[in-house]
Amino acid sequence: MTRFFSFVLLFGFSLIVEAANKLDSIRVWDAPDSTRVVLDLSQAPDYSYFSLSNPQRLVIDLKQASTKVKFDDIAKNSKLINKVRLSKPPKAGTLRLVLELASPVKANLFSLTPTAPYGNRLVVDLDNSANKPAAKKQVVQTSKRSKDVIVAIDAGHGGEDPGSIGPKGTYEKKVVLAISKRLARKINETPGMKAVMTRSGDYFVNLNQRSELARNSRADLLLSIHADAFTSPQPKGASVWVLSKRRANTEIGRVFEDKEKHSELLGGVGDIIQNTDSEQYLVMTLIDMSMDHSMAESHSIATDILAGLGKVTKLHKNKPESASFAVLKSTDIPSILIETGFISNPKEERLLLDGNHQQKLANAIHKGVVNYFEANPPSGTMFAKQSNVKHTVRSGESLSVIAQRYKVSVASIKKSNNLKSDVLRIGQKLVIPRA
């Protein structure tokens, strides 16, 4: 009988041990004003936390948890976290983690259910933006210098969200960041233009916040760079997407919309849960009538960019496509999403990893942007001070179509080019007078 009870006790204890939550890994993502720590767990976490000062620490207690994680190299390159370590737990069965911090932070913790490729997670968002010194006010020079055309470049995904993954394991987030940086350099090298990036490193930015960052920079255009995937390896080619207030009417478009929702679950769901203004912001953008103008401008820019991309890579569609993407829902900034290719296609995955091909893509996008702003210069910019614009006639274009695009009359185009009739030929160069 004694042996029997001993066996029962040992068996019961082994069940408790097996049932304990396991901390499998800890990942740290540094952003300019915040740091995200992700705890990968075998089960949904039962946790509590508190802060300590002098020195600054965040203490997290995971109940009925254990780990074999090695803590030496965790947060090795983090600017905010000096060290992650274990500490003596308040009671047996609790795993106590201590985050030693470089400065006071605002901590936000929330759990996430499994979403491929990740399992259960506890997310720790540390915000230290309040501790940064206020930026010095810039003195506005009242000189005759033209203001720059500002182009916001949004490298998709990042941090916790890898984006699509190619057959060889290529992460979309890394490819599009490389292309975005090349594009930013091209824009900054162009007189009268300046690039701003929504993310410059491997971290996630909430989809709605990307538009807000562009707006705060007074951007004239938002370009969101992606390299998406499909459910099969056959689809290939670049495409350009503009906002539609309706659900996408193609299968690929619907897959892309679903992937955007998946992106939020991977990288930014905490912001949606905690930020009650997000829903209000989306509602406001959807009902704002100025969106119609932004959508029309976006379509025109998309056409110019597609023309450039078609010279350096295959196109999936030779006309702009439309879908309901959150990153495009800005009421006052023309916004487009560029799919630089299908990372799910083995051949295009290899191309997207190639630096020369990345530069060709960046050059093509840059050329399309410059062509657009030469034709539609924002007031007060260097582009607006140029006398005339040159236009190359494309297939399907007529004088009336070109005149409508540049907001000038057919008669003025004919006069500037000494045209005796309305007949145009493909490839013909036209001088477009200023409106």
Beta bridge partners of 61: 48, 96
- The reply to whether 226 and 325 lie within a common domain is yes
Return d(Cα 72, Cα 69) in angstroms, integer: 9
Has residue 283 got a pLDDT over 60?
no
CATH number at residue 427: 3.10.350.10
For the chain, how many structural domains are there in total? Answer: 3
Q: Are residues 399 and 267 in the same domain?
A: no
Note the pLDDT of residue 351.
97
Q: Are residues 228 and 349 in the same domain?
A: yes
159 and 51 in a common domain: no
Kindly give the residue spans of alpha helices, DSSP state H, lying in 226-268: 251-263
**CA nearest to 154, candidates 325, 360, 399:** 325
Q: Kindly indicate the confidence band of residue 43, based on its pLDDT and cuts at 50, 70 and 90.
A: very high
Look at residue 7 and tell me if it is in a domain. no
Residue 364 sits at φ, ψ, to 5 deg, of: -65, -45
Global pTM value:
0.76
CA distances (Å), origin 383, targets 148, 185, 233, 429: 9, 19, 42, 19
Domain boundary among 98, 129, 160: 129
Residue 98 belongs to a domain with what CATH number? 2.60.40.3500
pLDDT at position 73, please? 86
Spatial distance between the Cα atoms of 50 and 44, rounded to a whole number of angstroms: 20
Measure the CA dihedral 322/118/211/132, to 10°: -170
- The reply to whether 252 falls in a domain is yes
The answer to whether residues 302 and 179 belong to one domain is yes
Same domain for 172 and 229? yes
Same domain, 343 and 421: no
Picking from 340, 375, 410, the residue at the C-terminal end of a domain is: 375
In this predicted structure, the answer to whether residue 23 has a pLDDT above a threshold of 60 is yes
Q: Which band of pLDDT confidence, cut at 50, 70 and 90, is reported for residue 141?
A: very low
Are 114 and 184 in the same domain?
no
Question: Looking at per-residue confidence, does 219 or 388 come out higher?
Answer: 219
Residue 6 lies in a domain: no
The predicted model gives 16-35 an average pLDDT of: 84
Q: What is the Cα Rg of the chain in Å?
A: 26
The reply to whether 419 falls in a domain is yes
Q: For position 142, what pLDDT does the model report? A: 40
Q: Are 59 and 51 in contact (CB under 8 A)?
A: yes
Question: Is the pLDDT score of 306 beyond 90?
Answer: yes
Residue 220 and residue 356 in one domain: yes
Show which of 94, 129, 164 is a domain's final residue. 129
β-strands 335-339, 65-67 pairing? unpaired
**Same domain for 236 and 284:** yes
The mean predicted confidence, pLDDT, of the chain is 84
pLDDT on residue 136: 53
**Same domain, yes or no: 115 and 154:** no
| Residue % of the chain over a pLDDT of 90 | 57
Mean pLDDT, range 282-294, rounded to an integer = 49
Q: Identify whether 207 is part of a domain.
A: yes
Could you tell me where the beta strands, DSSP code E, fall in 171-279? 193-197, 221-226, 239-243
| CA dist., res. 269 & res. 333, Å (int) | 25
Instruction: Provide the 10 A C-beta neighbour count for residue 147.
Output: 15
Q: Is residue 10 part of a domain?
A: no
Is the separation of the CB atoms in 397 and 430 below 8 Å? no
Which residues span the domain enclosing 290? 149-375
Which of 15-24, 323-332, 347-356, 401-410 is the most confident on average? Answer: 347-356
Query: The domain spanning residue 295 has which CATH number?
Result: 3.40.630.40
Same domain? For 40 and 110 the reply is yes
Distance between CA atoms of 319 and 305, rounded to whole angstroms? Answer: 10
Q: Does 27 map to a domain?
A: yes
Which residue type is seen at 20?
A
Is residue 215 included in any domain, yes or no? yes
The stretch 138-157 carries a mean pLDDT of: 75
DSSP, res 146 = P
